[in-house]
Amino acid sequence: MEAPGFKEPAFEEFDPASDCDCPGCAHWRRVLPHSRTGRHPAAHPAAHRAIVLAAAASTVLVGHAAPA
């Protein structure tokens, strides 16, 4: 049983305090929404096209090499 008024600890990495006005926090609030940090590398349109092209080429090559 928890003591009254005791909350679980919140770590900045998982639950960042958005009310901090220090220069570092203000910088990261400005930069992170526009950066590629945390995005999947295949989310870029050119990377997606390359993956689709590679999948299609491998399907064609394997399809012809397989015995009927």
The more confidently predicted of residues 11 and 50 is 50
Q: What is the pLDDT of residue 4?
A: 64
Element holding 7 (H helix, E strand): none
- Least Cα distance to 9 among 20, 21, 17 occurs for 17
Query: Is pTM beyond 0.85 here?
Result: no
Q: Where are the domains of the chain?
A: 42-68
Cα separation, 53 vs 60, whole angstroms: 11
Q: Which two tokens stand for residue 38?
A: 């945390």
Cα separation, 16 vs 35, whole angstroms: 18
- 26-42: pLDDT as tens digits: 887 777 765 555 556 55
Q: What is the pLDDT of residue 14?
A: 55
Q: With 70 as the cut, is the pLDDT of residue 47 above it?
A: yes
The more confidently predicted of residues 20 and 33 is 20
